[in-house]
A = this chain, B = another copy of it.
Amino acid sequence: MSTLPAAIQQPDPAIIFEALNAYQRSSSLKAAIELDLFTAIGDGRRTSAQIAADTHCSARGIRILCDYLVIGGFLIKNEEHYSLSLEAALFLNRHSPAYFGSVARFLLDPRITAPYENLAEIVRTGRTTLPDQGTVSHDNPVWIDFAKDIAPMVQPAALEMAEMLAGDSNVRVLDIAAGHGLFGIMIACANPQAYITALDWPNVLAVATANAVKFGVEDRHTILAGDAFEVEFGGPYELILVTNFFHHFDPPTCETLMRKIEAALAPGGRCVTLDFVTNEDRVSPPTAAGFALMMLGTTLAGDVYTRREYETMFRNAGFASSELLALTKSPETLIVSTKHA
């Protein structure tokens, strides 16, 4: 019906409509997880009537929600039958050992999402509208929920990291901003001669300790309560882990911590950073680069750094070299920075 030649690129106003309504993608996935819809389908409920009965929901609500989840790639529809996409089956069916539906609670906690109700104001000032220092404020209770809710999502990456790093000799490990503690704990599981010190705010360390008990490594897992910038690290350590932490701070603050880490490492010891790392263009890969908006909304000065920025910061802090390693189980990158021998 168009009177224009097909070769001319047509502007698509629908992409604006879709972006403005994208919040419904978040809401719908959160609702489906809360209703355990993916588990119901995994258990063999196929039609919207069956799924509605199993989840104690209305037929209209389930039909519309399921169709929306098909559009989003979380369900597959075949005639009137729904089934789970690969990701939904693996990560959102409560019976799957890799289930991490709890992440929805943390990521959509109002303490995280509130700043996005008026993002223009944050862009004006360049600082989160959350009180104090945003999510990195001292003892912010949001990190207790983070430690509990996000652990299942990061466990595959923690395992992968442990396989790459744990070694088989005596190793002392400091796990900075340990949270759930899984990154250190997986190393303790992989290497019976690894001794872990988990550092975090005291209210969060209870979660890490509980996980150490759960994985049977509590005899090689001690805690160090305090602020990573203020507490004495002790040591020396052969390995210091800094997972999902540097992105909360500006480069001078990162370098300050890197120097403190360097000082606490044994000669030849390694600082292992797990974080989002962008290409030099700062817009790819999309998951890593897009995380910068989370830092704009929830911190005073956090950011996602490029490979070159990480290398520069670690060099400035006295490290001999840094090597970047991709993970297969995470969109984040490992940066292994080695102290002079």
Contacts and interface: CB of A to CB of B under 8 A. Distances in A.
Contact of A16 (B4, B87, B281): B87
A66 B7 CA distance: 29
A159 B284 CA distance: 39
Given A1-B325, A27-B116, A30-B119, A287 B90 contact: no
A265 B90 CA distance: 56
A104 B23 CA distance: 13
A30 B20 contact: yes
B26 A58 contact: no
Contact of A293 (B2, B24, B125): B24
Interface in A49-108: 56-62, 64-65, 67-68, 70-74, 77, 86-87, 90-92, 100, 103-104, 107-108
B77 A281 contact: yes
- Please tell me how many copies of the chain the complex holds: 2
Given A26-B22, A65-B293, A283-B67, A58 B327 contact: no
B123 A31 contact: yes
10 contacts: A19-B25, A20-B30, A21-B294, A22-B22, A24-B116, A24-B294, A35-B124, A57-B126, A68-B290, A71-B286
A20 B122 CA distance: 21
Given A116-B24, A283-B71, A91 B13 contact: yes
A90 to B, nearest CB: 5
A283 B69 CA distance: 9
A58 B121 CA distance: 10
A107 B61 contact: no
Interface residues of A, number: 92
Nearest to A79: B281
Interface in A104-135: 104, 107-108, 113, 116-120, 122-127
Contact of A12 (B31, B87, B301): B87
Contact of A1 (B56, B67, B327): B327
4 shortest interchain CB distances as A-B pairs: A58-B126, A61-B123, A27-B116, A23-B23
Contact of A126 (B29, B60, B156): B60
Name the prevailing secondary structure of the A interface residues: helix
Contacts of A31: 118-120, 122-123
A153 interface: yes
Contacts of A100: 13, 16
Contacts of A296: 60-61, 64-65
A79 B293 CA distance: 20
A331 interface: yes
Nearest to A65: B123
Contacts of A19: 25-26, 29, 72, 74
Interface in A12-44: 12-31, 34-35
A19 to B, nearest CB: 5
A11 interface: yes
Given A29-B20, A287-B14, A292 B103 contact: no
